[in-house]
Amino acid sequence: MNLPTLIRSEARLLLPTYERQPVFFTRGRGVYLWDAKSKRYLDFLSGIGVNALGYGHPAIQATLKRQAARLIHVSNLFFHEFQAELAQRLTKISGMDRAFFCNSGTEAWEGALKLARALARAENNNGHKAKWRILALENSFHGRTFGSLATTGQAKYRHPFAPLVPGVNFVAFNDLEDLRRQFDSSVCAVCLETIQGEGGIRPVSQEFLQLAGELTARSGALLILDEIQCGLGRTGRYFAYEHYGVMPDVVTVAKPLAAGLPLGAILTTNRVARGMHPGLHGTTFGGGPLSCAVAITFLEVLDDLLENVQQIGEYFRAQLQMLATKHTFIRDVRGLGLMLGVELDSPDRAKAVVQNLLQQGIIINRTHETVLRFLPPYTIEQKHVDELIGALDKALLVKSVKLPIRPIIGHKLVARSQP
């Protein structure tokens, strides 16, 4: 199968949900990917933050091989040996008490929202209406399912699917006054990404997170942090909220947790768990033996990588800032650890830079129109950063780039009744 054939087949057979880059990857090793023509790419996106250990990590391969041969799935109707151990490790590093395992980020987020409403009902034993309002942040992104969309503060994701889940209000990003104004005793949760990812790599401010923590703690509402993109080592600590010293009531994780297998988790406290009982929430696939066994291995490897994320992250950030002094159309350099963003002056320039880097054999992506997003594997070394910076320096001088091949999106409609 070659790329043009693949593009034509997908255009005919798949829902037109993606505008893929015209690259056909066939294998990966370390921080590199290779396409079908054996061109090598340095990966500074890692499958949107999933492949934190890069490709073909020996410890992950060994666990995959061993566990795939023993047991892949049993459903949540029975016990297997890995959920409790994984929960033990995740609660230890997060300061939470309990875990629920699912299959993706959006599913973790949906479950977290349900926890807030369920606890509000369970604690409402005084005859008043239970807390129900959820405060989310403008510019946020929490996933594609209805609850996640309802709390995603970007019109382009929400509007095509309205009406969404009711009871959600949006607070202006990092606006303390707006948070104070909208928060009252009807709020069951304040929910936010500790560092907004899709929204352009924007860390929430210390003051804002602290205020959200104080208001929720005082009223009994929950502080729910989405660490699906910024959690599990991405910022050089296990969780981004550790940089702030503010403890959430619920935290969601996913992306790198099972090193490429689909696995998400909700982590929470014993108090919040009182809102749940058997039958109230569940999943068929979530937390199977294969993904949990791999996640345990991921966490074991992660322990020794946090320092590298911190050190290389600082070096990387300093190099990006150096570029910002040279290229006047760099508006900002943001982020923590190996979750970094460079805001440019225009969407066209950002698009051209991503395309040019791809031609040079380096993978990044563009988010929020103008922001170059860097989410490399935690295993990158200084020489990889230097390679990226050299290529980016060149790419920033390129005005526009012609794409070699565009995906074909045209679709012929065929009536359902047609034979």
Ligand X SMILES: Cc1ncc(COP(=O)(O)O)c(C=O)c1O
Question: How many CA atoms are closer than 13 Å to the CA of 410, on its beta-carbon side?
Answer: 3
Query: Which residue, judged by CB position, is nearest to ligand X in the bound state?
Result: 105
| β-pair type (371-374, 339-344) | antiparallel
Footprint on this chain of ligand X (rule: CB under 6 A): 48, 104-106, 109, 141-143, 193, 197-198, 226, 228-229, 254
- Three-state secondary structure call for residue 373: strand
| In the complex, least distance from residue 155 CB atom to ligand X, rounded to whole angstroms | 17
Burial of residue 187, with CB atoms counted within 10 A of its CB: 0-12 exposed, 13-18 middle, 19 or more buried: buried
Q: How crowded is residue 3: how many other Cβ atoms within 10 Å of its Cβ? A: 15
| In the complex, least distance from residue 226 CB atom to ligand X, rounded to whole angstroms | 5
Give the whole-angstrom CA distance, residue 329 versus residue 28: 34
Helical spans, DSSP H, in 259-346: 270-273, 289-303, 306-326
Give the whole-angstrom CA distance, residue 386 versus residue 236: 20
| In the complex, least distance from residue 77 CB atom to ligand X, rounded to whole angstroms | 25
Residue type, 247: M
The secondary element (H helix, E strand) that includes residue 366 is strand 365-367
Give the whole-angstrom CA distance, residue 139 versus residue 65: 41
Q: Is the dihedral of CA 30, 36, 39, 41 positive or negative?
A: negative
What residues form DSSP beta bridges with 171? 137
Q: Is the dihedral of CA 226, 229, 231, 237 positive or negative?
A: negative
The residue among 105 and 335 lying less far from ligand X, judged by its C-beta, is 105
Give the whole-angstrom CA distance, residue 288 versus residue 293: 8
Tokens of 141: 């992104």
Q: Is the dihedral of CA 52, 260, 15, 149 positive or negative?
A: negative
Q: Which single residue is written with the structure tokens 């992660």?
A: 302
